[in-house]
Structure 1
Amino acid sequence: MIDVRKLRMLAELDRLGTITAVAEQLHLTAPGVSMQLAALERELGVPLTERQGRRLALTPAGRLLAGHGRDVLDRLSLAETEVDALRRGGSGTYRLAAFPSAARTFVADAWARLNEEEAGIRLTVTTPEPEDALAALLSGEADLAVVHSYSNIPRLVPDGVETEHLVTEPIWVAMRVDDPLAAEVVELADFAHHDWITPQRGLTCFEMTDRACGLAGFRPRIVAESVDFAAHLAFVAACGGVALVPDLTATDLPAGVHLARPATPLNRMTIAARRTSLRGDPGLDRITGILRATAEERVHASPVEVAQ
C-alpha cells in the first residue's frame, strides 16, 4: 500500500518543482522530504526522481505516479468534504419506507423540500404497510420507517428500534351528504344498519374499523374492502355506504361525500422509526425534522377544513 503522505510529497514536487518549495508548502524540512521520497522509491522498486544539475526532477515513472497521486488526493479531499457534510446532516443517501397515504402527502412534501434546499441528502422511497416497513428496518433494507398506529390499536415496536412522533391525525366518518344521519358529530352506533367499506382484512386499518364498530355495539356489514382509502371515498359516493378514513387519505374528497367527527374520537398516530444503532445520525435527524413539519402542515383540525 502506497503511503498517501509520500504520494502527496511527490505530487507537490511535480507541481512546485523544488524540494524546498515542497517543504515550505507542507510545513516540513527539506531533508525530511528528500528522505520520504527516497523511502518511496525503495518501497516501489523504481526510480521516481533524478538529478538534473542542482535540481531534483521526476522520472517518467515519477510523473506517472504523481498524476495518479493528484487524482487520489482529490478523491480523498472530496471524501473528507462529504464525510463532514454527513456529520452535519447535509449529505448522504437514505432509504425510507413509508405507508402509502404518508408517502403521497407529507413524505413527498419533505422530499421536495430537501431538493429545494439542495442539502445534499438523497432519498430512495418504498411504500410498504407498517409491518413490512418495520421488517425492512430490522433487516437493514431501510434506514427510516414511517409507520402508524391507531388510538384503539396500539403498535408494538420491536427491540432495537426507537421512534419519534411525527403527527396525530383525526379519523373521519365518511358518508353521503344526503344521508339522513349526516351531521357534524355522529354516533357510530347509529350506522349499525348501513353498508360499510373497510380496509382489507388482516391489516391494522381493518382492525381499527372493526374494533371501533365493535365498541359501538355492532359488527359492520361489509360490502367492499380495499387497501386504498381513496377507493373507500369513491365507493361511499357511489353506493351510500360508510367508511372510517384518516385525515391524510381525504385530500381529494369526491363530490357528494360528507365527513363527520365520531362522538368517540379516533386518531391515527404516525411515527418515524430507526434502528437504535442509528441514534444521533445527523442526516436522519434532519429528515425526521422535515417530515414532522410537513406532516403537521397537511393535517386538518376539522372536516370543514378538508372540504374547503
Structure 2
Amino acid sequence: MVDVLDLRKLRMLAELERLGTIAAVAQTLHLTAPGVSMQLAALEREVGLSLTERNGRRLTLTPAGRLLASHGRSLVEMLSLAEMEVIALQEGSAGTYRVAAFPSIARSIVADTWAILRENPELGVRIELIEMEPEDSLPALAAGEVDIALSHSYSNLPATLSPNLVTAPLASETVWLASRADPSDPSDVELAGYATADWVVPHRNWSCYEMVQRACGLAGFTPRIVAEATDFSVILALVAAGAGVALVPQLTVGQLPAGVTLRSLTVPVVRYDTVVTRQATAADLGAQRILALLADSAGRLVPAPIGSGDGH
C-alpha cells in the first residue's frame, strides 16, 4: 500500500518530464540538483516503481513516471485554482499580472489598457509587459512565467490550442496586401496577380510567415522571397523602397510609409487575436478585470475585419 503521495515530489517529476534534466528542474524550482535527485529517488521508493531512465544526457520518464507526472500537473493546477478562488472570495483579488504580447498588439491594445489602469488606480490591479511572439509566450504561460498571453492565429492557419489553457477571442484583423501605390490597381486584389512579384515576409520562425506561404499557395504560386524581417515596420519600409509586396495585419500598420497603399484581398485572410490564461488565472478576479479592459480596448481600437465572415 502506498502512503499519501507528496505533491512537491510529483511536481518535480512533472517538471522533469517537461525540462529533461535534474539541473533544469532545480533551477526552475529554486532547489539544489542533489536535493531534487534525493526527492525523486524517495518517490520511487514510496511507489515501488522505476519512474525515470537514462537516455543519453537526459532523463526520460518510464510509463509509470509519465502517469504520475500527469497527475502531478493536474494536482498542482487544482491546488493553484483553489488558492486563487479563496483569495478572490476573500478580497476580490488585486496585484500585478505579467502579460506577454506580440509587438503590434502590445503597442496598441495593451498600451491602451495600461493607460486606463494608470488613470483608474481604484481598479486595484497592475500589469507588467513582456514582448513575446506567440511561439514563445504560450510555452511561457504554461510554465507559469507569465499570467496572461496575447496570441493570434490566421483564418488560413488555425491555432493549435492546449487543453490546459483557457482561450478567449479578443479581436479580428483584416490582412492587407501592401504594395507601392499605383492608381491603376483596384481596391480589391487577387493574390494570383502577384505571382511574379518579389515578396517581403515575416521571419520564417513565425506563424505569420506560414500565413503568407499558405495564402500564396492557395492562389497557385510560391512567393519569391527577397527579404525576411522581424518587424512589420521594416517590412513596410522595404515595400516603400520598392523591394516587393507584403501581407500585413491591421494592427501592424502603426504608420503607413509614403508611397505605400493597402488593398483588401478578394479571398480574405483574417488574423484572430486571442487572450490566453491558465485555468487558475482565469478564475482570479483581478485577471478577469484585466481581460475585460483588454476586450474593451480591442473593441475600440480594432475595426471589424473586411470580408471575415465572422469565422472566428
Asked if Structure 1 and Structure 2 have the same fold, meaning a TM-score greater than 0.5 normalized by the shorter chain, the answer is yes
Q: What SS is found at the alignment partner of 2:241?
A: helix
Letter in 2 for 1:220: P
Alignment of 1:92 with 2:95, yes or no, is yes
What residue number does 1:125 align with?
129
Structure 2 counterpart of 1:156, from 149, 160, 163 = 160
Alignment of 1:222 with 2:210, yes or no, is no
Query: Take 1:197 and 1:225, find their aligned partners in 2: how far apart are those partners?
Result: 6
C-alpha change, 1:242 and 1:179, in structure 2 (3 Å) is farther
Q: Is the 8 A contact 2:173 2:305 kept in 1?
A: no
What residue number does 2:203 align with?
200
Aligned pairs for 1:40-189 (under 5 A) are 87-89=91-93, 91-118=94-121, 119-178=123-182, 180=184, 182-189=185-192
Query: Take 1:86 and 1:179, find their aligned partners in 2: how far apart are those partners?
Result: 63
Name the TM-score, length of structure 1 as normaliser. Answer: 0.68
Letter in 2 for 1:149: S
Query: Take 1:101 and 1:204, find their aligned partners in 2: how far apart are those partners?
Result: 14
Letter in 2 for 1:121: V
Query: Take 1:215 and 1:138, find their aligned partners in 2: how far apart are those partners?
Result: 34
Name the TM-score, length of structure 2 as normaliser. Answer: 0.67
Q: What SS is found at the alignment partner of 1:239?
A: coil
Displaced runs of 4 or more, over 3 A: 83-87, 300-303
C-alpha change, 1:243 and 1:167, in structure 2 (3 Å) is same
Structure number, greater radius of gyration = 1
Structure 2 counterpart of 1:275, from 273, 278, 290 = 278
Per-residue CA deviation, residues 179-210 of structure 1 (Å, 9 max, x unaligned), is 75x32100000011111100011210000001
Query: Take 2:305 and 2:173, find their aligned partners in 1: how far apart are those partners?
Result: 10
Query: Take 1:159 and 1:211, find their aligned partners in 2: how far apart are those partners?
Result: 26
Alignment RMSD (CA, Å): 1.8
Number of residue pairs matched by the alignment: 219
Percent identical among aligned pairs is 47
Query: Take 2:145 and 2:273, find their aligned partners in 1: how far apart are those partners?
Result: 20
Q: What SS is found at the alignment partner of 1:251?
A: coil
Query: Take 1:234 and 1:183, find their aligned partners in 2: how far apart are those partners?
Result: 22
Query: Take 2:178 and 2:300, find their aligned partners in 1: how far apart are those partners?
Result: 22
What residue number does 1:257 align with?
260
Q: Is the 8 A contact 1:86 1:92 kept in 2?
A: no
Q: Is the 8 A contact 1:96 1:125 kept in 2?
A: yes
C-alpha change, 1:128 and 1:84, in structure 2 (3 Å) is closer
What residue number does 1:287 align with?
290
Letter in 2 for 1:161: L
Query: Take 2:183 and 2:131, find their aligned partners in 1: how far apart are those partners?
Result: 35
What residue number does 2:52 align with?
none
Q: Is the 8 A contact 1:97 1:142 kept in 2?
A: yes
Query: Take 2:141 and 2:243, find their aligned partners in 1: how far apart are those partners?
Result: 40
